[in-house]
């Protein structure tokens, strides 16, 4: 019996929600969306998730960047088998260390240097790794047998055409560049 693997995306920016969701769906995951702690809590209580992608700052008024840490803490309490990826445009070394050590994030990614292929690889590593706590399933399942066949290493395509990307946001620039190279 194959259980559908789910992902939770907690992001207040619709564009980032779409990008992250598309990649997660391409990885064979069903995606639940939330824009704040309350929505995330409802989603966590409704379903179990294998992956959570959480934006650090979920509102313009969150100058202390704690909304995402609150969601991380809630994920850890309500869905302990879920691996969380913290995504942010406001990164400091101290914050990354706190997210990883105190809040149990799997990894910490910056939006300015976001690469779809790198994100896909991280999701793949999460999906093939054993759950944090053993689920109450009597028969062991091979970690690779439950994975969709879509998990093939990306093939780099060489193209002779060139494009000029004019975008002041480094994160969007790298995403557009990757899309053009796909």
Q: Is residue 110 a part of any domain in this protein?
A: yes
More confident residue, 179 or 81: 81
**143-172 pLDDT per residue, tens:** 444 444 454 444 445 455 666 666 767 777
CA angle (114 as vertex; 124, 71 as ends), nearest 5: 75
**What does pTM read for this prediction?**
0.72
Confidence of residue 96 (pLDDT cuts 50, 70, 90): confident
pLDDT at 162: 63
Q: Is the pLDDT of residue 85 over 50?
A: yes
Q: Is residue 32 a part of any domain in this protein?
A: yes
Q: Domain range holding 118?
A: 6-135
Number of folded domains that form the chain: 1
Q: Is residue 114 a part of any domain in this protein?
A: yes
Q: How many CA atoms lie within 13 A of 168 on its CB side?
A: 0
**10-58 pLDDT per residue, tens:** 999 999 999 999 999 999 999 999 999 999 999 999 999 999 999 988 8
pLDDT at 142: 46
pLDDT at 83: 95
pLDDT at 129: 86
More confident residue, 143 or 103: 103
User: How many CB atoms are located within 10 Å of the residue 59 CB?
Assistant: 12
pLDDT at 28: 94
Q: How far apart are CA 71 and CA 35, in angstroms?
A: 11
5-174-181-123 Cα dihedral, nearest 10 degrees: -20
Fill in the DSSP letter of residue 61.
T
Q: Is residue 48 a part of any domain in this protein?
A: yes
More confident residue, 144 or 177: 177
Report how far apart, in Å, the C-alpha atoms of 24 and of each of 5, 77, 144 are.
Answer: 10, 23, 17
Domain containing residue 90: CATH number: 3.40.50.2300
Q: Is residue 67 a part of any domain in this protein?
A: yes
Q: Is residue 164 a part of any domain in this protein?
A: no
């Amino acid at each position: 019996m194959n259980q559908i693997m789910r992902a939770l995306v907690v992001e207040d920016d619709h564009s980032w929600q779409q990008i992250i969701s598309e990649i997660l769906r391409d990885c064979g995951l069903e995606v639940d969306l939330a824009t704040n702690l309350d929505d995330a809590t409802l989603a966590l209580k409704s379903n179990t998730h294998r992956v959570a992608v959480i934006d650090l700052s979920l509102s313009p008024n969150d100058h202390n960047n704690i909304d995402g840490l609150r969601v991380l803490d809630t994920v850890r309490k309500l869905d302990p088998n879920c691996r969380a990826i913290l995504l942010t445009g406001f990164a400091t070394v101290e914050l990354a260390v706190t997210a990883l050590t105190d809040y149990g994030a799997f990894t910490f990614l910056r939006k300015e240097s976001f690469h779809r292929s790198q994100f896909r690889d991280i999701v793949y590593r999460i999906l093939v790794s054993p759950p944090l706590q053993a689920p109450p399933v009597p028969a062991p399942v091979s970690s690779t047998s439950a994975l969709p066949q879509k998990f093939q290493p990306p093939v780099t395509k060489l193209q002779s055409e060139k494009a000029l990307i004019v975008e002041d946001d480094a994160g969007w620039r790298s995403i557009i560049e990757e899309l053009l190279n796909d």
